[in-house]
Structure 1
């Protein structure tokens, strides 16, 4: 029973650590963050099982993590108001072409990371971005507007207008 208790404590600690480290997805982790997560795996095993190398100890530890993960999902599905606490919420990090430095700092994200993400989406100028939102999963959603001279004229349906041939 001690392994179950230790696994539950470590699970909660890991959840807090991953929430505190920010919202980077696996493909966006820095080298240091990746090394930290890999090292945590080994350290967790030692802390949970106290060098208990038995199959029973491993099964208990993994089962505890699985039950707690399923429990968090169940809580979210029954009580949607818990989702911001367990998974976070989306945050606007840029409005009308101007980065929100306070929001970026709070999420441990640099302006250069924001610029790089915009370039990956094919956005050339910040002025094109009406709103950028850092999603709870670490991705950034960009909502752009068309600037004068950036595109051909379009009618209300979004289709290009036919040129007047006279």
Structure 2
């Protein structure tokens, strides 16, 4: 086999007119995926659950095959889409009829913030890093955890937050990037400090060194008490 054979790399043994067939196949795959999304009732990608994402990836694989391979006939691919739609509808029916099935397939909402502190085991269980978690909070207008009364990770990956009123905001761990907060092992001044690992709040005296009771961390950052900007 000749290396860097452009004729083989571009079309191999296919005629140039096969590009017209590729266009027809892509249009066919596009219409099938579009029809599936319309029939399934999805309005947007953000609404996709884990099960629905698996279905879409399966559709994408089938659509890719029919678009690029000349030996893949169209009708079997249409059958794949049809039976996937039936499977999708049957699974939704089972999830609605039997709640345990839905819980097994998609999981349930997970509480990751409670009373201004986040749940580290819950984050680890969901394979979410602290940096990713803090980024999500910043995008929702949160400056520190003390502004949040309850945070729930929904089954579709969205984060639902329930805030304290301005009068009820408590000291909390800053979610800003590291360049905007200081971290100490021996605190320079007396005041409220947040554990840099788990967000636990503790009153500390000047030059005091402390060990967090929740996670045994020894590093602290000044707790913020600012209210949210409305």
Fold match by TM threshold 0.5? yes
Q: 1:72 aligns with which of 68, 84, 91?
A: 91
Question: How large is the Cα RMSD of the aligned pairs?
Answer: 3.1
Distance 1:51 1:134, change over 3 A: farther
Which shifted more, 132-141 or 51-60? 51-60
Aligned to 2:102: 83
Distance 1:93 1:69, change over 3 A: same
Aligned to 2:154: 135
1:92 equivalent to 2:111? Answer yes
Question: What residue ranges of structure 1 are gaps of 5+ in the alignment?
Answer: 1-24, 28-36, 151-166
1:41 equivalent to 2:60? Answer yes
Bigger relative CO (Cα 8 Å, ≥ 6 apart)? 1
Query: What is the count of residue pairs matched by the alignment?
Result: 114
| Contact kept? 1:99, 1:111, Cα under 8 Å | no
Name the CA distance, whole Å, in 1 between partners of 2:45 and 2:155.
13
> Which consecutive aligned stretches of 4+ in structure 1 deviate over 3 angstroms post-superposition?
37-46, 147-150
Whichever of the two has the greater Rg, that structure is 2
1:55 equivalent to 2:74? Answer yes
Q: TM-score, normalised by structure 1?
A: 0.57
Aligned to 1:102: 121
| Contact kept? 2:59, 2:81, Cα under 8 Å | no
Question: What residue ranges of structure 2 are gaps of 5+ in the alignment?
Answer: 1-43, 47-55, 170-230
Name the CA distance, whole Å, in 2 between partners of 1:72 and 1:100.
32
Name the CA distance, whole Å, in 2 between partners of 1:52 and 1:85.
38
Name the CA distance, whole Å, in 2 between partners of 1:76 and 1:39.
20
1:125 equivalent to 2:114? Answer no
Distance 1:56 1:38, change over 3 A: closer
Q: Cα offset for 1:38?
A: 6.9
Name the CA distance, whole Å, in 2 between partners of 1:40 and 1:103.
32
Q: 1:111 aligns with which of 130, 134, 140?
A: 130
